[in-house]
Amino acid sequence: MKISFLGGGNMTTALIGGLLRQNVSATSITVIEMLAEQRTKLTREFGVICVDEANDDALDCDVLVLAVKPQQMREAITPLRNRLKRQLLLSIAAGIRLPDLTRWLGGYTNLVRAMPNTPALIGAGVTALYAHPAVDAGQRTVAEKILAAAGSTLWLDKESLLDAVTAVSGSGPAYVFYFIEALQAAALELGLMPEQARQLSLETFLGAAQLAMQSKDGVAVLRERVTSKGGTTERALQSLETDQVKAALIRAVKTAAARSRELGDALGEN
């Protein structure tokens, strides 16, 4: 299978690293990247083929991963009109909807849209995918395999749900980092050293997430087990409830989803 990437940024780097770990040959991967410095870096690090434009060899592929910035997508793919040969196009650009991609490509429908997140950089991401109805089962499998190189995957049955995915898992790492920042700040105010605050905060989040993943019980049950009546955890959670932290987080995620819809509308204009 030959895979080409249009754009050589961080997510392309993450996916190439994952694919090579799955024993995909470096010589079967081509990256179309305008920046010479990035081409040199990718060739040196992975041994993949890098070119500065979408030439015929680069487009002679089974899958073309669209990995340019959303604001650059229309300009980047419009020249591909009438040059595609029914290969699968896999878009990992946030906010760009399939009807707009189809329109910019002159009616092309062999498209899958995906929303990965930044933990993909260490192979621990999660990606939601949505396929155009024209995409067959074989190509869906191929798309899933490529994204699985960077973590877990799940399929959606409505493209509109990708706005929710963007708000929950796409933006989600920032929420986690925000809470880690707060926990570290509290640790420092309570007298712990910076390196101690960092270790305690990071390993607590990591361990709690791993426990939740491995447990058959829901997170509410796990929370209750840590919360002894009249104890320190109960007092802390009561403070969070008084400050309506959970409600504020839910509002924040809904706000992010609304912004995702707004950006999709704006990016798809004309």
pLDDT in tens, 35-74: 999 999 999 999 999 999 999 999 999 999 999 999 999 9
The number of C-alpha atoms within 13 Å of 13 and in the hemisphere containing its C-beta is: 15
What single-letter DSSP state applies at residue 6? E
Residue 270 pLDDT: 63
Residue 182 pLDDT: 97
User: Which pTM value belongs to this model?
Assistant: 0.92
Residue at 115: amino acid letter: M
Strands 151-155 and 3-6: unpaired
pLDDT tens-digit series, residues 164-190? 999 999 999 999 999 999 999 999 999
What single-letter DSSP state applies at residue 150? T
pLDDT of 212 strictly over 80: yes
pLDDT tens-digit series, residues 105-153? 999 999 999 999 999 999 999 999 999 999 999 999 999 999 999 999 9
What single-letter DSSP state applies at residue 133? T
**Cβ distance 84 to 59 under 8 Å?**
yes
Q: What is the mean pLDDT of residues 65-90?
A: 93
Residue 268 pLDDT: 86
| Cα 232 to Cα 52: distance, rounded to the nearest angstrom | 59
| Cα 227 to Cα 92: distance, rounded to the nearest angstrom | 41
Query: Which contacts (CB < 8 Å, 24+ apart) does range 106-110 have?
Result: 106/81, 106/82, 108/81, 108/84, 109/133, 109/134, 109/135, 110/84, 110/86, 110/134, 110/135, 110/139
| Cα 9 to Cα 262: distance, rounded to the nearest angstrom | 25
Residue in the block written with tokens 């906010």: 95
Q: What is the mean pLDDT of residues 206-223?
A: 96
Residue 269 pLDDT: 78
Residue 159 pLDDT: 96
Angle between helices 172-189 and 245-267 (to 10 degrees): 140
pLDDT tens-digit series, residues 248-260? 999 999 999 999 9
Residue 219 pLDDT: 96
By C-alpha distance, which of 131, 127, 134 is closest to 107?
A: 134
Percent over 70 (pLDDT), the chain: 100
Q: Is 109 helix (H, G, I), strand (E, B) or coil?
A: coil
Residue 44 pLDDT: 95
